[in-house]
Amino acid sequence: MKRRVELGLLYSRSGSYSLIGQACRTGALAAIAQINADPDNALTFLPVERDPAGNIDHYAPLCAEILRETTAQHVIGCVTSWSRKEVIPVLEKLGGTLWYTVPYEGFEASDHVVYTHACPNQHLLPLLDWAMPHHGKRAYLTGSNYIWGWEMNRLARDIVQTAGGQILGERYLPIGSTDVARMIEEIRACRPDFIVNSLIGPSSYEFMSAYRALGGQDTAFHPARCPVLSCNLTEAELPALGDRAEGLIAAGPYFCGQQSWPGGSFGSSHEAATFVAVRELARLLSAKPQAKGLSDLLAGAGGVIDPDTHHTRLPVLIARVEQGAFRVIQHRGEIAGDPYLSRNREPAAPHLRVVS
């Protein structure tokens, strides 16, 4: 008989970033269904779901509820870095592990977190390495007013200035705010070569809408001349963006139509990274059913997770939205996650071919 293992799911299905949460949940449930249906797997996952509804105050209590009131020791969940940092003290106190499956800003390596999506050396650095030779070195930075926006823009500022470029403006919005008029006017006035968009949810959607309108008024802001760059916008949010996303350039480990991702085809990299997280957890728990804690589980186990940093080696792709879908324009091969940017930079040239 298969061993029954309760598994926490902590994703918001409503609120400002619900499309990302729903995509991650879809990936988790697909992996659970596949694992449970496979007679060769030694375990069956029983999902224990909690929905914080996008309210930051709900994450820590609901994570504690999962770990205290069920036998679950692992939680797949959280979207924002704010919510991830809220649950880490709970994980430390109760001995749980969070599997975090969305891109983040790096500079973290918790003993209680596994990171299965990209960190800056796998998204922001390659994206800027691509953008500056193609478009120039004068940037404008936007972001939501919390950890992700602050850190992404700090890194972008350092990278651009180190390359001899300029940051012409930098502005933040509270999560959920759609008051983008000041940003647009500053962009109109300073005329950058590209824009780094680290906004999330409705803030990002409204910004993309207003920027498309600006491009319609002034060809200097057409995406071909002054593109918007993103490290977190994926296919999961294209339905909300519609034609406003045309010309958007994004970095990520997976885009629809890529066949190199374990497990098949997915709707977005959020879905894919969550699917892989659940599959990898099942493999580890099957191989080490008596493991005590995350370090013991990962030690000598092989697989996709670096036992020292708990980060994942991932493909690095640059893609552009064309006719409503991402098309890969550069494939840089696989790069190991380096959350503290402590290793030598990967070569700026693509490892594989450039798709024109």
What is the domain count for the chain?
Answer: 2
In a domain, 344, yes or no: no
Same-domain status, 310 and 323: no
pLDDT computed for residue 1 by the predictor: 81
Same-domain status, 309 and 327: no
Domain of residue 270: give its range. Answer: 3-117+258-314
Same-domain status, 181 and 221: yes
Same-domain status, 227 and 324: yes
Same-domain status, 174 and 223: yes
Query: Residue 7: beta bridge partners?
Result: 47
Mean pLDDT per 10-residue section of the chain, whose length is 356 residues: 95 94 98 96 96 97 98 98 97 98 96 97 98 98 97 98 98 96 98 98 97 97 97 97 97 88 90 97 94 92 93 97 96 95 60 36
In a domain, 15, yes or no: yes
As to burial, measured by CB atoms within 10 angstroms (0-12 exposed, 13-18 middle, 19+ buried), residue 263 is: middle
Q: Please state the pTM of the whole predicted model.
A: 0.94
Same-domain status, 251 and 182: yes
pLDDT computed for residue 344 by the predictor: 64
CATH of the domain at 225: 3.40.50.2300
Same-domain status, 46 and 195: no
Same-domain status, 181 and 325: yes
In a domain, 301, yes or no: yes
Neighbours of 69 (CB within 10 A): 9
Same-domain status, 323 and 193: yes
Same-domain status, 22 and 131: no
pLDDT computed for residue 33 by the predictor: 97
Same-domain status, 64 and 196: no
Residue with tokens 């992996």: 31
In a domain, 343, yes or no: no
Q: What's the rounded Cα separation, in Å, for the pair 52 and 70? A: 17
Same-domain status, 203 and 322: yes
Q: Is 344 helix (H, G, I), strand (E, B) or coil?
A: coil
Of the candidates 132, 84, 144, the one whose C-alpha atom is nearest the C-alpha of residue 109 is: 84
